[in-house]
Amino acid sequence: MDKPLLVQYFVWIYNVLHGDMGKSIFYNDKVSTLIIQRMPVTIHLGLTAILIGAIVGITFGVICALRRGKWIDSLLTFIANIGITAPGFWVGILMIYLFPSSCIGCLPMAIPRPFRISGKKVMVIGGGPAGMEAARTLAERGHETSLYEKSDKLGGQWKLVSNFLPDEAKLINYLSTGMRKAGVKVFLNREVTAAMVEEMKPDVAVVATGSDPVPLHVPGADGKNVVQATGVLAGNIELGNEVVIIGGRLVGLTTALFLAEQGKKVSVITRNKIARGLMHNTKMVFHEYLLKNNVRLFPNCTPESITENGVNCWWDSGEPPEKDNIFFFLKADNVVLAVGAVNNYRLGDLITGIVPETYKIGDCSGKRSVFAAMREGSEIARKI
């Protein structure tokens, strides 16, 4: 890249003449390898098109010759002209929808699993969006891919969103379908250990173990009436009528709406501003729905202790000289913690010396959005 453009061009021509077409920036693979992978599909589609064209063309020609000047001659001539003038890409898309691969199997909507001379044995640990996208991409590139999820369902943290917003479950269905078509072996209710990895001897391990809730270090935080927001959103926990949520960011506010819409009396306390760190439009939507559902909001509020009956709090009432810390008590049947998450990469640290290649993706390597995590999973998969 440090040479003049003209020099780079002639260097590329020289390399092409010697069989080196360079490396794809997008796929992080040799262009010649990508062409070889796609050649069977290209030959398949090309021969199918020639066969269909020959059969239809000869049939139309014979009929028109035998019925020259008749209505059938005019109709078939019109159809033939439409076929000739219509753009090829448009006809291709139309044929895919009219004759899907599920019916006749010869017009695939996507490139099938590509041919690869030597694939690697890859373990993907964690069935969230990042792990699922990585597994799909790996399998499509020809690697022997297995995905392990410790729970009984795929989706990771996105399952919590799906419980609250059912339409969002489409993302998990899309990723699951992609893995199934790519040939990924999925194992549910299988918590992976370092000993298990050592026994299976994979060439590559992709760790997508997500994050764990951060504990709250105040007296009473380990009480029987204290639960994590992730468990509440998963629908695994029954709560009383009065609930205090500690944490006023995305997870805490989502939990507040989830419970308020069930008719519960909900209060939210947070050390900072409500909806801190969220985009302005998202903040406005949350505030509107929180107020509409009569959720009580307590910003700049620090919990001092949790009891069987509720939460003792200090409220920072303003700026000096008017500032005055006020102590008060919020009654609650249950207290829900939504104070953040910490990366869970413990397994990755344990297997780093066991597996030749180890990668971490998704929340276990840092906080990010679901789509950023999926993109990272896809990028890492293309490097393997």
Helix, strand, or coil (residue 346): helix
pLDDT at 115: 47
pLDDT, tens digit (0-9, with 9 covering 90-100), for 330-377? 999 999 998 888 778 788 888 888 888 899 888 777 777 778 888 888
- The number of C-alpha atoms within 13 Å of 273 and in the hemisphere containing its C-beta is 8
Per the prediction, the chain carries an average pLDDT of: 83
**Which residue has better confidence, 333 or 319?**
333
d(CA 25, CA 264): 53
CB atoms within 10 A of CB 375: 15
Preceding omega of 219 cis (within 30 degrees of 0): no
Please state the domain extents for the chain: 5-98, 121-212+342-383, 226-339
CB atoms within 10 A of CB 155: 23
Residues 12-40: what's their mean pLDDT? 76
Alpha helices in the chain (DSSP H): 5-17, 31-66, 71-85, 88-98, 129-140, 158-164, 169-182, 194-200, 229-233, 250-260, 280-292, 346-351, 370-383
Q: 98-112, 137-151, 307-321, 352-366: which has the minimum mean pLDDT? A: 98-112
**Which residue has better confidence, 21 or 147?**
147
Would the pLDDT of 164 be above 80? no
To 10 degrees, the CA torsion angle through 115, 142, 153, 229? -130
The answer to whether 63 and 72 are in contact (CB under 8 A) is: yes
pLDDT class of 244 with cuts at 50, 70, 90: very high
Q: Max Cα separation, the chain?
A: 102
pTM confidence score? 0.62
Q: 49-53, 95-99, 213-217, 259-263: which has the minimum mean pLDDT? A: 95-99
Residues 6+ apart with CB under 8 A from 82: none
Would the pLDDT of 59 be above 50? yes
User: Domain 121-212+342-383: which CATH class?
Assistant: alpha beta
pLDDT class of 281 with cuts at 50, 70, 90: confident
Hey, what are 351's tokens? 């297997």
Identify the CATH assignment for 226-339 out of 3.50.50.60, 3.40.50.300, 3.40.50.2300, 3.90.1150.140: 3.50.50.60
